[in-house]
A and B are shown apart, each in its own frame.
Chain A
Amino acid sequence: MAGDTTKTVILDNSGIRRAMTRISHEILEKNKGLSNVVLIGIQSGGAHLAREISNCMELIEGERVPVGSVDITLYRDDFKSQAPHKSVGKTDITFSLEGKRVVLVDDVLYTGRTIRAAMDALMDYGRPQLIQLAVLIDRGHRELPIRADFVGRNVPTSQKENVEVLFDDKQQPVEVVLEK
């Protein structure tokens, strides 16, 4: 880490919990319950958060929604032939998305390119009835016409800054930091 970066905690653990609980309620409200709803988290942060939301929703409604995860590496739009290719993560969707109300979950919404790639990936698994987007942090600077349906916290940032959601070794969210 460079010596002149400063880290500020912009959302602590209880702040994350409250945001996830609110997002869970909003998802249930907007979809009028959880019938036909499935959660798909984007690897890796979004996948952890999707499991958290599913736990919250179970506490509220007493029923579990199917949870899957999607890795977008193979759908990226920034392959440069000279850059070493990253390892490919696991996509784990064991149920059909045909006719489902899919809630796509990611940790930080930034340019929107990840979401574009994830939607392309989901379409290869069938035709969902609709796709909604839930994110813990929206930091602005969109490069595509994409917006989130459910947002934990809007954080105005500059493009020089970096927002990161930190997870512990049990994949539980710990805090959100802003690096300058």
Chain B
Amino acid sequence: MELIILPLAGALISWLGKSLNRQVSFLFSIATLALNLYWLSVFIPDGTLQFEQNVPWMNEGIRVHTGIDGMGMLLLLLANLLTPIILLSRWSMNQEQNRLMLPLILLMQSALNGVFTSMNGLLFYVFWELALIPIYFISAKWGSDNRIRITLKFFLYTFFGSVFMLASLLFLYWKTPGTHSFEWASLVAVELTEAEAWWVGAGLLIAFLIKIPVFPFHTWQADTYTAAPAAGSMLLSGIMLKMGFFGLFRWYLPLVPEVIQSQMSWVGLLAVVGVIYGGFIALRQNDLKRLVAYSSFSHVGLIAAGIATLTINGFQGAAIQMFNHGINIVALFFAISIIEQRMGSRSMTQLRGLAASSRVFAILFMVAVLGTVAVPLTNGFPGELLLLQAVFASNAVYGILAGLTIILCAAYMLRMYQFSMFGDAAEHQPAFQALVPSEWLGMGILASLILVFGIFPQPILDLTHASMTQLLEIIQERIALR
């Protein structure tokens, strides 16, 4: 609850305040992170819900009920870790824009923390929708050409998905006994017939698959990531799409265990198709941001395929990869934003030899690229390993196909790095200015996180292990009961 209110207060103060607006925003985001880290230090990862708060809201069944379990804690940590860095990426930029953009980023953080802590269906829906407003404004106001059309498409797409989710939740709500309740535990306890569960599951699934996005619901994604300003792309890809995965874990799998086996086999197929499709498209991109967008599409496909296996390895791989994908993609977008700001271009064919001008940047960017490629000792490796192992174990063909992602990813990522960083500088190319402190601080933190979690992935796995096992138990118990 405090994690929701703190950024919200920060957003209001920084919006109403006349000056010092980036300092105020940054301070509030750091305070939120500090609180989150403190909670992490007293958190016991045993699969229970901790830091619970529970007060009635509209009636007895519609409550403001928040709490944190292992998976929630992981995603909170991701959101609150990345927000200060995203704010840092705006530090040296247009202050006129920051007046409005920084409060919106904090508002987004508040809504995201709400999504990751809600234990009440309607509260979850409210935060889910609320998160859409700031990101829509950030992308539509400060994006590049065509932003208005593209972002409206994005908004409509995701909003369509979420109304089906609301319909499904409402259906479950009216099935709960007594005075009806949106509480997570009550919704989980509802028994549905096969046909009902199929429809309810489909409604929930469509909202989450659009958000992730899984093929063929991805058509909004590349355009939106490209058109949004750097901070918007980071928010979207780094944190917001994790809402989709979180939704699958918390609000889909335990709610309709009756049909997840059949529905998830379809999701697995679509996800693998997306992995390959995204990878091949990424190979042919010239725009750096578009390339990273498709690479992200390909990577999240693998995470979705891992969840679709319904095994503990798949779940754990998905959890750790959710976290690390967030860090990696934000590092990539950060680097691209640094390049774009200096060179005025994101086109691979126009960029040459940046490595010679700034060695620090070249190294930091390299770390981000290696993390994405999932080289051992970077953070991408353990997750990808677990995921591929899980996918392979459940379906060898999918496993082999999804394994292609490593080769494809190495190909397009290294191609990107090679084209933009090596070679001789083009003649009319402006000089590459050295990084300013806010930039190397932001990139430096991200790069060290990539290495730290590459060498010590175990803490992340420990954090989510208990809640993932418990989730799996709930599902299996319900399936066995029938």
Are these two chains actual partners, yes or no?
no
Residues of B whose CB lies within 8 Å of any CB of A are none
Residues of A whose CB lies within 8 Å of any CB of B are none
